[in-house]
């Protein structure tokens, strides 16, 4: 008996030296403990949701198998360890097969310590033993596939549900161990028989997929925190626990540099620009990453601006035009009326003025002048929107007036006295306004004397004198001496 006790102590001390406290926990009241075993997954291992198309997730870690054991006084000389095996994602049939294999390994190594052999098998060979390959199918609670499974496998499901309460209880597992309920199964027993040592630790009514993904993310973060990275900004080497990694591109920067970067962007209102600093990289920081690096006040501003920018992209959301309100308003399809839920202001969603029913939006003269260019440069949808807002007649009028204005600008000059547009067809440069009868010079638009209008052209000090006699208007030199009516 002393030899067995000594072998047990040596084995437990060896396990404690190999595995950390999270993996191996020794029981205080008995010769036993608990071992959590993360199975080694092949690269690019995936989890898929059965019955849902194109729902596929890459995972590097799955929740561990938990081996609870107690060592009998005559272990390892005579008896094997008393154990239970539990999992969140394996079925009881699969775990029963593993329990049978552990019994076989004990038979093969009888009279020798076997816990380390069991651990190595579960970690390295369990997937191949159970023929589990990527992708691993999981059934979500409430899915169609889950409903079909419950109908076709009524008996196993009933067993799971009836045993879930007691099997999830850690004290119940210990009670089983103490009473010796984990006696080895006969090798001749049917592989489909459920082993009482196989324990489910998840409620079948709870969705398993989020638990798998959350565990995978937590384990990835744990591995990341233990590595050393060189920040791409300050070029200092730091542990992953002091760094931030962008999910999409996997570029890593230290938290000190990213905190300063995020603070500047949020203060400037550039909440859509919290992207990876790597040139031409479009990866964005997640809200959780931003929250971890900035204070509460800045994050509240970031959250508010991010919500506003998201609402701005929604076609069915507008803002109350009252500056003192500016509440987001949901707009019903095929209507131009918005009613603010905060101040009850009814407004037109097109012009943001008071609601005017089926009448077209009013337009100012200044807006009318620029309407033509905006309309002609718009897309098909933009033109339809403008026609809906102002009416086709208003748009047509704006286009016609715009073309007329362009023609007048190219072919006419304004009277310096009253501003009337005057076109010169032929004749001399002394013009007479058709509206106010004012004489003026076509070249410099200067007003001419009523008594002697041609003195302007004969005066050598006149700004138009040199132009006329140096080739600009030399073909009309003889016309200067004609009568006023010319």
Q: How many CA within 13 A on the CB side of residue 419?
A: 0
Please report which helix (H) or strand (E) contains residue 307, including its range. Answer: helix 296-312
Q: In terms of Cα–Cα distance, which of 232, 267, 234, 265 is closest to 246?
A: 232
Kindly provide the residue ranges of all beta strands, DSSP E only, lying in 204-355, ordered along the sequence: 228-230, 237-239, 243-245, 252-254, 317-319, 328-330, 337-339, 346-348
Distance CA 100, CA 185 (A): 6
Question: Do 339 and 330 form a contact (C-beta atoms < 8 A)?
Answer: no
**Structure-token pair, residue 276:** 């990876």
Question: Do 394 and 363 form a contact (C-beta atoms < 8 A)?
Answer: yes
**Structure-token pair, residue 326:** 């500016």
- For 311, the 3-state DSSP assignment is helix
Distance CA 233, CA 243 (A): 12
Contacts of 474 (CB under 8 A, 6+ apart): 468
Active-site choice (231, 428, 433, 441): 428
**Structure-token pair, residue 220:** 């990835």
- For 154, the 3-state DSSP assignment is helix
Q: In terms of Cα–Cα distance, which of 45, 55, 39 is closest to 133?
A: 45
CA distances from 268 to 260, 433, 435 (A): 13, 57, 56
**Structure-token pair, residue 357:** 């029913």
Distance CA 66, CA 261 (A): 44
What angle do the packed helices 144-152 and 154-167 form, to 10 degrees? 100
Question: Do 247 and 283 form a contact (C-beta atoms < 8 A)?
Answer: yes
245 bridge partner residues: 252
Active-site residue flag, 428: yes
Q: Rounded to the nearest 5 degrees, what angle is found at the Cα of 174, between the Cα atoms of 31 and 80?
A: 50
Tell me the DSSP string of 189-232: S-TTSPPTTEEE-S-TTS-SHHHHHHHHHHHHHHHHHTSEEE-T
Residue numbers annotated as active site: 428
């Amino acid at each position: 008996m002393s030899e067995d006790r000594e072998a047990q102590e040596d084995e437990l001390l060896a396990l404690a030296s190999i595995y950390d406290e999270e993996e191996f926990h020794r029981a205080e009241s008995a010769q036993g403990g608990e071992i959590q075993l993360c199975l080694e997954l092949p690269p690019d291992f995936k989890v898929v949701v059965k019955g849902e198309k194109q729902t596929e997730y890459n995972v590097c870690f799955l929740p561990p198998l938990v081996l609870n054991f107690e060592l009998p006084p005559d272990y390892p000389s005579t008896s094997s360890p008393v154990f239970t095996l539990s999992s969140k994602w394996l079925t009881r049939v699969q775990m029963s097969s593993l329990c049978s294999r552990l019994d076989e390994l004990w038979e093969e190594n009888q009279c020798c310590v076997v816990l380390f052999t069991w651990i190595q098998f579960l970690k390295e060979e369990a997937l191949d033993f159970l023929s589990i390959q990527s992708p691993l199918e999981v059934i979500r609670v409430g899915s169609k596939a889950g409903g079909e499974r419950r109908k076709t496998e009524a008996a196993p499901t009933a067993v799971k549900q009836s045993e879930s309460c007691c099997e999830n209880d850690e004290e119940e597992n210990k009670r089983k161990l103490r009473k010796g309920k984990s006696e080895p199964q006969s090798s001749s027993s049917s592989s489909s028989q459920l082993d009482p040592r196989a324990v489910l630790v998840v409620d079948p009514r709870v969705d398993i997929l989020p638990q798998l993904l959350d565990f995978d993310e937590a384990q990835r973060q744990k591995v990341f925190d233990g590595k050393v990275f060189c920040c791409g900004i300050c070029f200092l080497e730091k542990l992953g626990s002091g760094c931030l990694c962008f999910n999409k591109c996997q570029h890593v920067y230290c938290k000190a540099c990213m905190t300063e970067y995020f603070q500047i962007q949020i203060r400037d209102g550039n909440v859509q620009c919290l992207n990876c600093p790597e040139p031409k990289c479009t990866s964005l920081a997640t809200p959780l990453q931003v929250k971890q690096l900035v204070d509460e006040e800045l994050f509240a501003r970031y959250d508010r601006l991010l919500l506003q920018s998201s609402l701005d992209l929604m076609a069915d959301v507008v803002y109350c035009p009252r500056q003192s309100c500016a509440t987001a308003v949901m707009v019903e399809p095929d209507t131009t009326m918005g009613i603010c839920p905060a101040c009850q202001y009814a407004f037109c969603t097109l012009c943001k003025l008071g609601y005017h029913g089926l009448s077209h939006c009013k337009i100012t003269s200044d807006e009318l002048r620029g309407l033509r260019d905006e309309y002609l440069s718009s897309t098909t949808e933009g033109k339809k929107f403008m026609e809906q807002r102002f009416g086709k007649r208003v748009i047509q009028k704006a286009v016609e007036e715009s073309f007329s204005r362009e023609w007048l600008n190219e072919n006419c000059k304004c009277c310096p006295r009253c501003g009337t547009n005057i076109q010169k067809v032929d004749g001399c440069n002394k013009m007479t306004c058709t509206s106010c009868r004012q004489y003026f010079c076509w070249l410099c638009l200067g007003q001419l004397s009523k008594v002697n209008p041609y003195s302007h052209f004969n005066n050598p000090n006149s700004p138009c004198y040199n132009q006329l006699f140096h080739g600009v208007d030399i073909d009309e030199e003889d016309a200067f001496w004609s009568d006023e009516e010319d």
